[in-house]
Amino acid sequence: MTRREKKQAKRLTRIRNWQLNQIAKAHSALSITGGTGICVGCGTTKNLQFHHIFGDGEQHRKDTGVGLATWLLASWILRNLFYAVERIESRCPKCHGKADANRRKALKQAA
């Protein structure tokens, strides 16, 4: 590995660590207890995802321009915390899937 490649790899590692730190901070900020983020469904602290409570995640990503990059959403959450607390929560994949299924079921019954 050349000196330039090593420098580039180190830079990319630093950027990725910063991105992961932003995600962790956002989960913590959304958590009621503070400290570490927890799933609102089961209380686990591992493998958390951001869940749009009203199911408007696709529209929210378009409106804010964050796209599919989780760290961009995390940065947005940290900048707009008062808005985010009302609309976004931390969930594990299992609870995230259950919440989405329940929302789809309720929409189907309402139609």
Please say if the pLDDT value at position 102 is more than 80.
Answer: yes
Number of domains in the chain: 1
Q: Which of 57, 53, 65 is nearest to 91 (CA)?
A: 53
Neighbours of 68 (CB within 10 A): 7
Average per-residue pLDDT for the chain: 85
Average the pLDDT over 46-70 and give the result: 85
Structural domain span for residue 39: 3-110
For residue range 2-46, list pLDDT tens digits in order.
Answer: 999 998 999 989 988 888 888 888 888 877 545 567 888 888 888
Q: How confident is the model at residue 76 (pLDDT cuts 50, 70, 90)?
A: confident
For residues 51 and 56, what is the distance between their CA atoms, to the nearest angstrom? 10
- Cα dihedral across residues 80, 82, 83, 88: positive or negative: positive
